[in-house]
Amino acid sequence: MPLEVVSARLGHSDAYFTANTYIVTRSERQKVAAEAAEQCLSKLNSGTVG
């Protein structure tokens, strides 16, 4: 779905606002997911899992 359509349906003033709002959130989630994966891999490598 085009970003402009999503923006209009959400009632945002423009697509830039929509992209900026959700891309930041997505980036933060990616960082959290990467950190969690790193912790899991570290535990596997050190033999402390299970």
For the whole model, what pTM was predicted?
A: 0.48
CB neighbours of 19 closer than 8 A, spacing ≥ 6?
A: 3
| Tens digits of residue pLDDT in 13-26 | 999 999 988 877 77
CA dist., res. 4 & res. 15, Å (int): 5
Spell out, as residue ranges, where the chain has pLDDT lower than 70.
49-50
- pLDDT value of residue 27: 81
pLDDT in the model for residue 16: 94
Nearest one of 28, 50, 34 to 20, comparing CA atoms: 28
Contacting residues for 40 by C-beta, under 8 A, at least 6 apart: 49
Contacts of 4 (CB under 8 A, 6+ apart): 15
Q: Where are the domains of the chain?
A: 3-46
